[in-house]
Each structure stands twice: as structure tokens, then as C-alpha cells.
Amino acid sequence: MSDKLRDFEMYEMQETFDTLYANSKNGDNFKKLYPIIKSRNNILLAYRRIRNNSGRDTVGVDGKNINELNELTDDELVEMVQGKLAKYQPQAVRRVYIPKGNGKLRPLGIPTISDRLVQQCIMQVLSPIYEAKFYEHSYGFRDNRNASHALSRLVSLINVGKQYFCVSIDIKGFFDNVNHDKLKRQLWSSGIRDKQVLSLISKMLDAPVEGEGVQNKGVPQGGILSPLLANIYLDELDKWVASQWVDFPSSYKSTVNFLNLKARNTNLKSGYIVRYADDFKIMCRTYDHAIRFYHAICDFLKHRLKLDVSEEKCSVVDMREKSVEFLGFKIKVIPKGGTRYGYVAKTDISDGAITRIKKESRDIIKRIRYSSDSPESAIHYNSYVQGVKSYYQYATNVASNLSSILIYRTIKSRLSDRGEWGTYQTLDADYKKRNVGMKPNTQILKITDTPLETLYAIRTKKPMNFSQGINLYTKSGRELLNKKSKTEAIPSAYITYIHRNRSRSNNRVDFRDNRISKYVAQRGKCGVLGVRFHPAEMDCHHRIQRIDGGTDEFKNLVWVSHDIHILIHATDSTTINAYKLKLNMTKKQIDTLNKLRNLVSNSPIM
């Protein structure tokens, strides 16, 4: 089960979200969303989702992050958010600039942590409504979809659909140029008729930007609600393109590989859109159709969506003659005998992405060179390499692309005196699983006993089309998602039990959140015995006691059975012997128990 689904069930919001999705599918309007948004469980769910987000430590103009909320109790947190919603006035958005791949800077807008919490509350309620409405081949900022699905769709259109002509359109500064009036009309026309909710969103859009004042257009990149609003804005584009061909009424069956009969007998232009956020391609069968789509799309963006395009970055390309870049990949159609249609898609890492990877990996190596003798810098490098390999593993020539970076040579020249060299064959199975296709005697550098990942040690993986049946808001969709999960599922009733049975001695919201996360991380198993228990049979133990300076942080908690918890704190020999006899522990279990006893200043059990 995904973390998001587990959270939905834990805070008892799944049924509410399912109902919103079903009603949206039916075409209903929504006039009473505000009570759901400000409900206790939705607010607590929003806190948990933000707390598990990588941006939780980012500060807004007030200099505060998630730590400012951690000190509150559940009741205090709910009361604070409900009060803010009742008289909502967002604070200014902090302006931050981050480098883009082309050397330019991308402006981000970072709301305050309290404004992000409000946005999360709204986003959770709007998401199921719009998941029922969005076009099926948009892949950015949507649950369970990612860039590999968009890439796979594009490759399928080439390999199976024989769509070799690509229309590339570049929107000028999309996020900074979303028309507010147009977006509000789209929200209303798509069924959002709750005026309190529309007012909240309107105020968010009008929030001033630090140093720049109120903006009359755009949605800030960095806001939690912004990706959803961006998809709502561009969904009109998706459906318009589909209406021109795929969804146009016809007596001919419209599938990806049909023989263009509909176009042969009409004046229609055939084309399929694949979109990831504001990056999209239109794939066509003929040059004439591609040219017609090019002009039609530019006109649609300008007059319907009030967006300009960068003409110098727009093109119509025969992919048999020239490659096209999409989401960091370079795609070209090449002849291949023995295939069904004689042509297939060949994918590489784009030139710009290779340049970026080369620079970033070498910068990290420099930091290792001049860092202290600790494993952190090596772990950071390994995390970076694993992220690169995970994203680009779907390129046909990924190993060749990454080996061209010559980072192995950089490691040998810069880090040889910082670590020890060993051979690939002597490393553990986990390393070999992550780094495949290497010769046994290949030299691998260890920094403080941490072997560095090898960038080019990777095999290509075939991208898979998104399974349209997967859905967080239907029973069948969740079953399909859970089938794909290879981990043993924890019964949702167990998680709900923990949520409902709060700790009387510590009602801080971060403790309640951390204890649930720790139970999930341990798969519901006792930290000593390794056996799963119902949470009613367990205790959440602080490794270092709060009275001794211990915190409620995730790393300081461990779930253990009641019996083990008694043994951790027991000092009476009779009690200790009785529970030792009852549990009949192995030496390894006793060693683990003794580590916990040592942290509470108790002598080890022999």
C-alpha cells in the first residue's frame, strides 16, 4: 500500500475522497467543499503530508518551517488552521531563483509554512475531483504517474502507431503567465461552485511576491497548490487536441495503430498529445497534419489560454531525420529490419542533461576531495548517482551515454589518496545489484568504507505505459496499485488504531506523526523480536528517554512488544528471569534488547 493511501485511511478521508471522485465522474457541481477542507481529519492529514514532503524545512518570508508546527498539539494545530481559513489573508511569497539547465535562472515562489498547510488542505479535496476530469495522457504532477510513463507513451506512438512527425511547442514562462481570470472561469465551469473555496484560491493567486508586489498573472512555482492549478489550466489544451482527432466522432475505430482511415476520408488532422506539466509533444503521421497542428496549437494557446510561445524553440520535425528532446531524453526514429513497421524509437540522454550530470557529479567529487574524513560526502555522491541512473535508465543507450562522461577517470585522478581501492567482485550483493555489467576485477574506490557508485554500471530498462486502471479513488484502482507493491501490506485497521488511540502523556502532533511513521517503517514488527504485533500489543519506546534529553524524533523511537518494553526498563531479577523464560529469546534478540537497556542506563541481561 502506498504511503498516501495509508494516510488517507488513517485519517479516515478515503471514503470522502472516493465520493468526490465518483460525483465528479458523474458531472456533478460542488457547492459544499469548504466544510471538508476545514475538517479536523483533513487538516491533520495535510500536516502529515507536508511533514513527509522534502520541502518541509524550507522557510517562507517569516523565516519559519515545519518545526514551528511540531510543538503544537492536534487541537492547537486544527484550531490554528481553521482560524486562518476563516479570515484568510496569505502572507507574501518568498522569491528564490534556482539555476536551469540552460544556464538561466528559474524564479520560485515559496509561501510561508502556514500558507502551505492551507494550500495542502485545499489540494487534497480538489485532487480527487480533477483526477476524474483530467485527460488520460497528461503525466506531470499526478499520482502514480511520472516522466517514464510520458516517455513510454511517446515511444509507443512511434513504434506501434507510426507517428514519426513531432510538433514541439515551447510556452514562454508558463507558470509566470497563467491568466488568473481564465483560471477562475475554468474552476467554475469544471464544477467548483463553492464561493468560499474560490475566494481562498483567488486570494492565493493575488498574494504579493517579496520585493515585487502583487502579480496580476501566474502561479508561483513552489506553492503546493500550483501544480494542480497548472494542470487544470492546461487540461483544456489536452482535450482540445483530443477533440481534433482521437475523440472526434467517427465510424472508424480510433486506436493508436489504426490505418489513418479517418484522416483519409475527411479533412481532419491526425495527432496525439503527450504532456508532462508544460512540456508537451504532438505526434502526427504526416508532415501536412503536423504543420496544421503546429499553427492550430499556437493559435489556441494565444487566443484561448492567453499564452505566448517561443517561436525559435518551436518546430515540426521528421524524427527519421532529426532527434527531438523530451524530459531530458533525446529521441530519434531509426530503421530496424525485422520489426513490424521497419522503424523504432532510439532514446539517449539529451546533450544538455549529459553536460549537467558531468558538472554536478564533478562538483560533488571536488567536495569529497576537500571534505573531512566522514562518509557523508560519499553517501551524498552515491545518492546523486543512484538518482541519475533511476531517472535515465529508460534511455536505450544509457550505459554508453553515462560512460562518455568519464567520471571514473575523474575519481581516479582526484580521490585516489582519499580512500582505498578494492575490486568489484569483493563487494556485497546490494552494491552489485545497483551496479551491473562490471568486470570482476574493476577497481572500486571506498571512501571511509563506503564504495562509490559507478555511474556507467547500468542496463537499460524498457519504459512501461501507465496502467489507466490505477486510481487512488476507486476500490478497483487501489487493488491494482496494491498488486504492484512488492512489500507486505500492513492492515489499515492497525494504522487507524494508532491514530485514534493517542498517547495521553505526549499529545504533540509531531510525536503522534513520528510514532505512526516508525510503526510503518518497522512493518509493524517488534524492534527486538522481529515479529508483527497489533499496535494494541506494543509500546512506542523512546531510545533516549525524554527526561534524559531524548526527543520525539523518528530516529529516537522504536516500537516493541509490551513484554519487551517491560524488559527494557526492568531492574528486578525476578521480573527479568520470568520474562526471559516466557520469551525464550535468541542471542541476537538479547543483544538488541541490551542495546536498548544500555540507553536507559540499565545493566545488560546475560
pLDDT per position as a tens digit, 226-249 = 999 999 999 999 999 999 988 877
- The residue with greater pLDDT, 256 or 219, is 219
Selected residue with higher pLDDT from 249 and 250: 249
The pLDDT assigned to 257 comes to 42
Higher pLDDT, 372 or 385: 385
- Residue 470 contacts residue 477 (beta carbons within 8 Å): yes
Give 433-480 pLDDT, tens digit per residue. Answer: 999 999 999 999 999 889 999 999 999 999 999 999 999 999 999 988
Sole residue written with cell 524530459:
327
The pLDDT value recorded for residue 10 is 85
Which pLDDT band, with edges at 50, 70 and 90, does 250 fall under?
Answer: low
- pLDDT, averaged across the chain: 90
How many other β-carbons are positioned within 10 Å of the β-carbon of residue 267?
Answer: 6
For the chain, how far is it from start to end, CA to CA, in angstroms?
40
The reported pLDDT for the residue numbered 31 is 96
DSSP H or E stretch at residue 59: none
pLDDT of res. 258? 45
**Res. 99: pLDDT tops 80:** no
Give the separation between CA 579 and CA 581, rounded to whole angstroms.
Answer: 5
Residue 576 gets the label, from left (phi > 0), alpha (psi -120 to 50) or beta, of alpha
Round to whole Å and give the CA distance between 579 and 307: 71
Going by C-alpha positions, the residue among 405, 376, 373, 377 that lies closest to residue 389 is: 405
Instruction: Tell me what the mean pLDDT of segment 79-97 comes to.
Output: 93
Residue that is written with C-alpha cell 520469551 in the block: 583
Task: Give residue 206's pLDDT band: very low, low, confident or very high (50, 70, 90).
Answer: very high
Q: How confident is the model at residue 88 (pLDDT cuts 50, 70, 90)?
A: very high
Q: Which of 402, 404, 406 is nearest to 394 (CA)?
A: 402
3-state SS, residue 314: coil
- Comparing 168-182, 259-273, 351-365, 538-552, the range with the smallest average pLDDT is 259-273
Extract long-range pairs of 423-426: CB within 8 Å, 24+ residues apart. Answer: none
Amino acid at 514: N
Rounded to whole angstroms, the Cα distance separating 545 from 541 reads 8
Length of the chain measured in residues: 606
pLDDT over 80 (residue 489): no
Q: What gap in Å lies between CA 124 and CA 139, rounded to an integer? A: 18
Residue, of 397 and 98, whose pLDDT is higher: 397
Residues 6+ apart with CB under 8 A from 36: 16, 20, 42, 125
Rounded Cα gap, residues 242 and 271, in angstroms: 8
Q: State how beta strands 279-284 and 165-169 pair.
A: antiparallel
What is the structure's pLDDT at 256? 44
CB 347 within 8 A of CB 394: yes
Residue 83, all three cell numbers: 482560524
Q: What is the pLDDT of residues 378-392, one digit of tens each?
A: 899 999 999 999 999
* Coil/strand/helix, residue 277: coil
141-158 pLDDT, tens per residue? 999 999 999 999 999 999
H-type alpha helices, 338-474: 351-369, 376-392, 398-403, 407-415, 429-434
Q: Are strands 165-169 and 94-99 parallel, antiparallel or unpaired?
A: unpaired
Strands of the sheet with 343-349, listed across from one edge: 324-326, 329-335, 343-349
**For the segment 44-74, what is each residue's pLDDT rounded down to a tens digit?**
999 999 988 877 888 999 999 888 888 888 8
In whole angstroms, what is the distance from residue 51 CA to residue 95 CA?
Answer: 22
* Contact yes or no for 223/204 (Cβ under 8 A): yes
For range 512-516, the mean pLDDT? 87
Return the bridge partners of 377, or none: none
3-state class of 190 per DSSP? coil
pLDDT on residue 492: 79
Helix (H) or strand (E) holding 555: none
CA distance 328 to 350: 5
